[in-house]
Amino acid sequence: MKSFKLFDSKHELMERVGEDGRSIVRIGEKKICLVLNQGEFHAFDHLCPHNQHSLLEGAINYKNEVVCPLHAYRFSLKDGSECEQRTRPLKIHSIKIENDGVFLLVKD
């Protein structure tokens, strides 16, 4: 797991995700979705493991799953597993908000 500083403060993070609570950051070749849902930040790979559709606009349901807009596969925001194991798990990353900035911990 690698750590990347994204922002100097939580305020900058809030500005970045904006009113819709969503944004994408690029880490090298990788794009990662940042989503604010019910006061909690989530970070996960931008592309769905099933057929590489963007998950940026995927709804977050009451089970804390991101729902892919293309075929409605549902991925746990805790461990990335698809609810019916129809495809490989989504990579879930971590956001740490510290006094010296906001960090993204990216799984390899």
| Least spacing, CB of residue 4 vs ligand FES, in Å | 26
Q: What's the burial of 90, exposed, middle or buried (CB within 10 Å: 0-12/13-18/19+)? A: buried
Q: First-to-last CA distance in the chain?
A: 6
Q: Which is nearer to ligand FES, 34 or 48 (CB)?
A: 48
Q: From residue 23, how far is each of 64, 88, 94 by CA, in Å?
A: 18, 24, 15
Smallest separation (angstroms) from ligand FES to the CB of 18: 24
51 binds ligand FES per the rule CB under 6 A: yes
In whole angstroms, the minimum distance from the beta carbon of 93 to ligand FES comes to 18
Please state the closest distance from residue 71 (CB atom) to ligand FES, in A. 3
Q: Hey, which bits of 1-108 come out as E strands?
A: 2-7, 22-27, 30-37, 40-45, 59-60, 65-67, 74-76, 92-98, 101-106
Residues 62-91 that bind ligand FES (CB under 6 A): 68, 70-71, 73
Footprint of ligand FES on this chain (CB under 6 A)? 48, 50-51, 53, 68, 70-71, 73
